[in-house]
Amino acid sequence: MNTTINPETLLATRDLIAVGVQGDDVRRRMHGARTTFVRVFEVHVGAPPPTRPSGLAAGEFRIVGRPATEEIATEVVKATAALAAGAPVTGFSLADLHALAPDPDALASLCSRLHEAGLEAIAETPLDLLDQPAIGVRAARDAGLGVWRLTIHALPDHARIASVERARDLQAAVGGFHAFAPLPRTMSVTTPTTGYDDVKQVALARLIVTNIDSIQVDWPLYGPKLAQVALTVGADDVDGIAAVDPGVLGMRRSPIEEIKGNIRAAALEAVERDGRFRLLA
């Protein structure tokens, strides 16, 4: 961690411009203007499509939802791998798999079966839902699965600093993470975050978690406007771009053109990647 950064002061300030400049400085030192994005085709654990949709252009096939049993998890992986035809298949939350197989040996066995069925990587590692994330990460990796992305399920105000410090410390302990998504996947009904909160959290993550390559923002979850602002305060990767174009808004409003346009409007360079975090252009 940069010793000149005071996390409490950063979160308390009303000067978003100063906060954003600090986050953007670190981002540009690490990545320049390059901003990556990935097109994701989501497969719900309970309803995998029988055939591959037409017009599909996915850099990642991602299984979403919590499997009720290990058998269901294995079957949906097999179905998704058949659809993916060689494209990266990711899936599940490490916390959900841990709930199915609480013991480290049982988790490793489950992960090994999922890997054999065609799963390449765990989709999410929610720091706040895992008591000992390093144990689960090692078990999944020993079974052959990638564990590349750290996430936050919920983020109460008192945990804002601790969440990013925990991401930094886990990377230092086990390594191998390519991206950290510091904004919560779920919103509190009673105490929702504001745009100010979210912008400062992204900047804080970039300033503190310098040992993880990318700070990520979720396009469908937080929307194009916040995603674009996040790219100017420290984020450099955009997740969840739609992989199928319904064709109702015209070529200029297709998902691929919309994300490229938003990145360029922020004076940044749009570069597509796949689910393995490999650049496609």
Q: Domain with 172 in it: what CATH number?
A: 3.20.20.70
CA gap 259, 162 in Å, rounded? 31
pLDDT of 248 reads 53
Residue 33 lies in a domain: yes
Among candidate residues 165, 220, 137, 135, the one with its CA nearest the CA of residue 11? 165
Residue 258 lies in a domain: yes
Reply yes or no on whether the pLDDT at 191 is more than 70.
Answer: no
Average pLDDT over residues 129-150: 97
Cβ pair 229, 26 in contact under 8 A: no
Residue 220 lies in a domain: yes
Average pLDDT over residues 108-122: 98
Residue 227 lies in a domain: yes
Cβ pair 227, 219 in contact under 8 A: yes
Residue 1 lies in a domain: no
Residues near 107 by beta carbon (within 8 Å), at least 6 away in sequence = 97, 98, 101, 136, 139, 140
Cβ pair 18, 200 in contact under 8 A: no
Note the residue count of the chain: 281
pLDDT in tens, 263-274: 999 999 999 999
Tokens encoding 257: 């053109």
Reply yes or no on whether the pLDDT at 1 is more than 50.
Answer: no
Average pLDDT over residues 143-155: 97
Task: Look at the chain and report how many structural domains it folds into.
Answer: 1
CA gap 59, 257 in Å, rounded? 16
CA gap 180, 102 in Å, rounded? 24
β-strand 146-147 against 34-44: which pairing, if any? unpaired
Beta bridge partners of 149: 179
Average pLDDT over residues 224-241: 94
CA gap 244, 40 in Å, rounded? 9
Strand boundaries in the chain, DSSP class E = 34-44, 60-64, 89-93, 121-126, 146-147, 149-152, 179-184, 214-218, 237-242, 269-273
Reply yes or no on whether the pLDDT at 97 is more than 70.
Answer: yes
Tokens encoding 48: 């995998």
Residue 99 lies in a domain: yes
User: Which element (helix H / strand E) includes 102?
Assistant: none
Among candidate residues 94, 103, 189, the one with its CA nearest the CA of residue 141? 94
CA gap 118, 81 in Å, rounded? 5
pLDDT in tens, 7-47: 888 888 888 888 899 999 999 999 999 999 999 999 999 99
Average pLDDT over residues 158-173: 96
Average pLDDT, the chain: 92
Residue 2 lies in a domain: no
Residue 278 lies in a domain: no
Cβ pair 263, 35 in contact under 8 A: yes
CA gap 278, 141 in Å, rounded? 19
pLDDT in tens, 246-265: 665 555 568 899 999 999 99
pLDDT of 6 reads 85
pLDDT of 246 reads 67
Where residue 4 falls among pLDDT bands split at 50, 70, 90? low
First to last CA, the chain: 32
The residue with tokens 């906060």 is 19
Where residue 190 falls among pLDDT bands split at 50, 70, 90? low
Q: Which domain holds residue 123?
A: 7-273
